[in-house]
Amino acid sequence: MKKLIVVLLLCAAPIFGQQNKTITVIGEASKKFDVNEYVIHVDFKDIVTNVYQNSDPIKKEQVIEEYKNQLEKVGIDFKKFKLNKLYNFSTSTYNRILTYQYITASFEEAKKVLEQRMNGVSVVVDILTKNNTNSDLAILDEMAIKNAIDRANLTAKKINKKIGTIQHIETSPNTNKATSYFNAARPYELQKHYVKVTFALE
């Protein structure tokens, strides 16, 4: 049993020594979120009788026709709106509300749609950011690696060491999502990109 313990310790020693010869840090880079498109969801519903406003009931189909006319006045073609049948089918509002979707890359167009207010119509917009291309990711990787080098140098200096060559680089898949939603509540928040870098220690 004693011989077995000695053998195991001898085998483990080089692994422990090898681990002490490297340092791994997380490098960080950031960039501004760029808006790619505005996805606008427009819900139409029946207008019920309102005795206080002395208004008659109006079917949602008629509401849609009035909304079309209102959009035409500001240069928006309702033919570009697509009926979202699956959304209506999958919610409790099935047969009570008709949902149309309009997608545009123009802020001015999105603004015009949102400004058209009328009874029986509600509008919600999702703001999607631009995809990161391979070139974008390569630039972010380079920035993050430079940040990792700076951090590794500072850490190594504190233990009287120097960093050597890069042994391993690992990017985080969570920071490389193709599409994400823009956080309108925090418009100046930056997109973060992280890279894990392992250096040799000298």
Residue with the larger pLDDT of the pair 78 and 88 = 78
Mean pLDDT of 162-166: 94
Query: Residue 77 above 90 pLDDT?
Result: yes
User: What CATH architecture is 23-33+131-201?
Assistant: 2-Layer Sandwich (3.30)
pLDDT tens, position by position, 97-119: 899 999 999 999 999 999 999 88
Outline which parts of the chain fall under CATH 3.30.70: 35-129
Query: Residue 165 above 50 pLDDT?
Result: yes
In 10 A of CB 147, how many CB atoms?
20
C-alpha torsion sign, points 51, 54, 55, 56: positive
| DSSP states of the chain | -HHHHHHHHHHHHHHHHHHTTEEEEEEEEEEE--EEEEEEEEEEEPBPPBTTTTB--B-HHHHHHHHHHHHHTTT--GGG-EE-HHHHHTSTTTTTEEEEEEEES-HHHHHHHHH---TTEEEEEEEEEPPPPHHHHHHHHHHHHHHHHHHHHHHHHHTT--EEEEEEEEE-GGG--S--B--TTSTTPEEEEEEEEEEEE-
User: What CATH architecture is 35-129?
Assistant: 2-Layer Sandwich (3.30)
C-alpha torsion sign, points 99, 102, 103, 104: negative
Query: Residue 42 above 50 pLDDT?
Result: yes
Outline which parts of the chain fall under CATH 3.30.110.170: 23-33+131-201
